[in-house]
Amino acid sequence: MKITHNKVGQNLNINDSGKSEKSEGTQKSKAGSNSTSAASIFNSSADQASRVNLSDKALEAKKIKELALAAPDVDQAKVERFRKLIDEGNYKVDAKAVADKMVDEEIDLLN
């Protein structure tokens, strides 16, 4: 694809690199001869004027990631204590208390 823009004293020709290998090789040799490529000029100007608007889901994902990274480390002493209780058969689960807590948490999420 060739785009030509003619104004007084200006001519802009851009070739689509997917069209032919010959144009791709020509563009590579031209880019290699310049000390500053068009992409680096574009990026430097874009960095100064760019703004990104994130969706609600993206903001929520960012918040979840921050919370996960800020979570405290595992209390290894507590893990070992429960592992020992389970191995000895002394760890008892109160199923009613667990169910009640699960229901309470779900109700809190709905409110």
Cα gap 11→2, rounded to integer Å: 12
pLDDT at 75: 86
- Cα dihedral 35, 39, 40, 43 in deg (nearest 10): 170
pLDDT at 35 over 80: no
pLDDT at 31: 45
What spatial distance separates the first Cα and last Cα of the chain, rounded to whole Å? 57
pLDDT at 29: 47
pLDDT at 91: 92
pLDDT at 82: 93
pLDDT at 54: 84
What is the rounded average pLDDT of the residues 37-42?
53
